[in-house]
Amino acid sequence: MEMLLADIDLPELASTAPEVFADANRFLSLNTSYLKLEDRQFLATAFCFADASHRGQVRRSGEPYISHPLAVATILTQWKLDAQALAGALLHDVMEDSGVTKLELTEKFGKTVAELVDGMSKIDKLEFQSKEEAQAENFRKMLLAMARDLRVMLIKLADRLHNMRTMDAMRADKQKRIARETMEIYAPIANRIGLNSAYQELDDLAFKYLHPNRYGVLSKALKAARGNRREVVGRILDSIKDKLAAAKIEASVTGREKNLYSIYRKMQEKQLSFSEVLDIYAFRVIVKDVPTSYLTLGALHALFKPIPGKFKDYIAIPKANGYQSLHTTLFGPYGTPIEIQIRSGDMHRIADAGVASHWMYKSGDEGFSDVQKKTHQWLQSLLEMQTESGDAVEFLEHIKVDLFPDQVYVFTPKGKIFNMPAGSCCVDFAYAVHSDIGDSCIAAKINHELVPLRTRLKNGDQVEIVSAVHARPNPSWLTFVTTGKARSHIRHFLKSLRFEESVLLGDRLLAQGFASLNQPLQQVSDDVWERYLKENGEKSREVVKAELGLGKRLAMVVAKRLLQLAGNWQEELVGGRKAAAVAVRGSEGMAIQCARCCNPIPGDPILGFVKKDQGLVIHTHDCPQIAHGRIDSEKLIDVEWDADVNRLFDVPVRILAQNDRGTLAAIATAIAEADANITAVATQEPEGFSERYMQIQFTLQVSNRTHLAKVMKNLRQLPSAYRIQRMRS
């Protein structure tokens, strides 16, 4: 194999360190079993190019930098990835660290390799508000590249795995940051796509750097325990092998050691000591096919008694990452619990390599296509989430939610299986079926019984969603949905609705700004708007108006600048006619809100306060918030009630009444006779009065101030009513 590198006519190789040269030849020799000669020649060329590009660069440990991409590519050979992916791994840092362009890579190695490298490259040239935002944006770019080609993520996981293995030379704070990111994002992704061995190693390495003392203590204890357990493990192993041989079942049986972090997590979650966790012995049985798996299960249940409730059939219902196996826990000798996994050889390969088995064993087997299909569905949901997430940080938050491994399995009325994250509710299920069903769901049935939409799903539930054509997502759903897909769809809908309402409000505020400058809005031409948008880097005038409605811009400032660009601005215009008040109906939705502190209703003199990210908030002119100076008077806007207001408004009313039988009924009747509605009621003992009196607080719905006066007049005519007042906070 050394001839492959020696035959490449590149003088730059003369400076390559002997140990790196040897590692490169070893990497190429690992590919002999499954790559053609021309593919290995292609990889040798890629190595030489990467070596020349990283010339003079060293890692923190002092090793030549090229040793890192070479190690990443070597990890990928264990997953039997194709030549393009291995070339992408060798070249994955050349764009970021060596200034090589995507065009140059395309010309030398083809479009696919260039796309893989680009998906791995960070976005250092963009400016971000924070380090978290930069990390989130980098991660979003990588996930979108992964949705186009899964090999991007496989290269990234191998990259992260090698970095975690060689992190000793870094500062402690950086070690912890990278370890936390690994545990929160990369290890769960490895689990999600079925790379079990990489998942466990990433978890263990992250644990090592996040909690070095705990890792050290557990590691030492595990080594000491191995010797003591060897005899018991051997005895159980012999019993299992003898039983299977007697049943004429051909199988490979091995002891399975739990990884360190899973031991630590079990100790924390179940409040167990180290010795209690280690008292559980684990074994793996590999058989030839699915029928033999179930025969093996029966034989082992005859050997040792199964523990009730500890059996899981992941063959009939595979995990989301394609994992298939039978799990059972038995009472072993001396009452020792024994965990056993039973699976076929094909299942074992998928369990270890997950979706990477697509490249490893292209056999056209249905099992492998199922793995690909499930991963593809997950990647499509990522693309859907990204288009609806406002920013990279929000997108990353949605992704993290979906990476938790615990799942429940539920069924549609037609028997289709959906695996959902633990804690999912009916709304999560509706969005999992289809985003349109989620948007329009109004009710749900679990096992044929109507339940609230917030009901949590359990394993085996049959779930039916009731939808309506004109239904829309409810903001309150955000308080109980679990999945990233549901959360991103609901937020996207609310943002779209809020944007439309904010544009309408911004239009009115801008008109008021022009009127206060004694100028008509109509004189601002399309050309002037284009210049303003270019000057401020905005996409459209609707975005500017939405920001006015959300309080992110001031109408007067925008109006003045537009007039300046139009050449019609003169300082003496200030002090012109008073701007017309903005008319409000109180039914505009999210863009205009009635303040909770004073609960204004039509007929009350009102003022508007543009609050950032909340739009226009309406207060009464005598609101305590304004009176106490808690609101900036410069941000107050003249508003008035529209003549055509057609809705009901909430008003809190407090009544002090005699505590006699029938008093509450009489008050409710008086309110109803005035055509008002009661939405809430609460009673309490009044301070400074005897037990003969009670204080009742109602929230009434009235159409305007005149309507409220009619209600209060009816209440004052009651003999039992002592004092009636409209409440102010």
| Active site (catalytic) residues | 96-97
The Cβ-side half-sphere exposure at 563, using a 13 Å CA radius, reads 23
Report the distance separating Cα 382 and Cα 397, nearest Å.
12
The Cβ-side half-sphere exposure at 369, using a 13 Å CA radius, reads 4
- From the number of C-beta atoms within 10 Å of its C-beta (0-12, 13-18, 19+), residue 364 rates as exposed
Question: DSSP string covering 517-528, please?
Answer: TT--GGG--HHH
Query: Tokens representing 414?
Result: 């037609």
CB 120 within 8 Å of CB 156: yes
Phi, psi of 290 (to 5 degrees): -65, -50
CB 530 within 8 Å of CB 626: no
> To 10 degrees, the CA torsion angle through 413, 418, 423, 425?
-40
Q: Give 100-108's long-range contacts (Cβ < 8 A, gap of 24+).
A: 100/53, 108/49
What one-letter code names the amino acid at 304? F
**Inter-CA distances, 498 with 393, 435, 609, 615, 673, Å:** 20, 20, 17, 9, 37
Report the distance separating Cα 151 and Cα 141, nearest Å.
14
Report the distance separating Cα 608 and Cα 582, nearest Å.
9
Q: Taking the mean position of all CA atoms in its chain, how far away is CA 687?
A: 50
**Inter-CA distances, 656 with 163, 696, 697, Å:** 71, 6, 9
What one-letter code names the amino acid at 318? P
CB 342 within 8 Å of CB 311: no
- From the number of C-beta atoms within 10 Å of its C-beta (0-12, 13-18, 19+), residue 485 rates as buried
Among 19, 78, 30, 70, which residue's Cα sits nearest to residue 48? 70
Question: Radius of gyration over alpha carbons of the chain, in Å?
Answer: 34
- From the number of C-beta atoms within 10 Å of its C-beta (0-12, 13-18, 19+), residue 678 rates as middle
Helix 83-90 vs helix 111-120: angle between axes, to the nearest 10 degrees? 50
**What is the pairing mode between strands 281-287 and 337-344?**
parallel
**Inter-CA distances, 631 with 186, 549, 586, 591, Å:** 46, 18, 20, 19
- CB burial of 522-551 (b: ≥16 within 10 Å; e: otherwise) equals eebeeebbeebeeeeeeeebebbbbbbbbb
Query: Tokens representing 202?
Result: 């990433």
Residues 6+ apart with CB under 8 A from 342: 285, 287, 293, 296, 297, 300, 325, 326, 328
- From the number of C-beta atoms within 10 Å of its C-beta (0-12, 13-18, 19+), residue 605 rates as exposed
Report the distance separating Cα 194 and Cα 346, nearest Å.
13
Other Cβ atoms closer than 10 A to 38: 9
Ordered strands of the 441-446 beta sheet: 449-451, 441-446, 463-467
